[in-house]
Amino acid sequence: VNMNQNRLRIEDMDVSKICLGTMYMGNRDSIDLSYKLLDKYVESGGNFIDTANIYSFWVEGFQGGESETLIGRWLQERNCRENVVVATKVGSGYQNTSKGLNTKQIITECEKSLRRIGIDTIDLYYAHADDFSTPIEETMEAFYRLVKAGKIRYIGASNYNSWRLEESNLVAEFNNYLKYSVLQQRYTYFQPRHAAHPDFNQVYLTEEMINICRSRNISILAYSVLLNGHYSNVKKELPKQYECAENVERKKILDYVASETNLTANQIVILWLLNHEPTIVPVIGVSTKQHITEAFDALRHKIDIELVHKLNFIN
Ligand SMILES: NC(=O)c1ccc[n+]([C@@H]2O[C@H](COP(=O)([O-])OP(=O)(O)OC[C@H]3O[C@@H](n4cnc5c(N)ncnc54)[C@H](OP(=O)(O)O)[C@@H]3O)[C@@H](O)[C@H]2O)c1
Counting from 1 in the atom list of ligand 1, the atom nearest the Cα of 185 is 1
The per-residue DSSP string of 200-248 comes to TT--B--HHHHHHHHHHT-EEEEESTTGGGTTT-TTSPPPGGG-SHHHH
How many Cα atoms are found within 13 Å in the side-chain-facing hemisphere of 116?
23
Mutate to test the pocket of ligand 1, among 70, 267, 283, 297 (most ligand atoms within 8 A of CB): 283
Condensed to tens digits (0 to 9), the pLDDT of residues 182-240 reads 999 999 999 998 776 777 789 999 999 999 999 999 999 999 999 999 999 989 999 99
Average pLDDT over residues 163-178: 98
Distance 311 CA to ligand 1 centre (A): 22
Contacts of 83 (CB under 8 A, 6+ apart): 42, 47
Average pLDDT over residues 62-68: 98
CB 76 near ligand 1, within 6 Å: no
Distance 228 CA to ligand 1 centre (A): 5
Counting from 1 in the atom list of ligand 1, the atom nearest the Cα of 232 is 33
Condensed to tens digits (0 to 9), the pLDDT of residues 4-31 reads 578 999 999 999 999 999 999 999 999 9
pLDDT recorded at residue 315: 75
Report whether pLDDT(2) > 70. Answer: no
CB 266 near ligand 1, within 6 Å: yes
CB 265 within 8 A of CB 205: no
CA distance 10 to 48: 11
Three-state secondary structure readout of 15-47: EECCEEECCCECCCECHHHHHHHHHHHHHCCCC
Report whether pLDDT(166) > 50. Answer: yes
pLDDT recorded at residue 1: 44
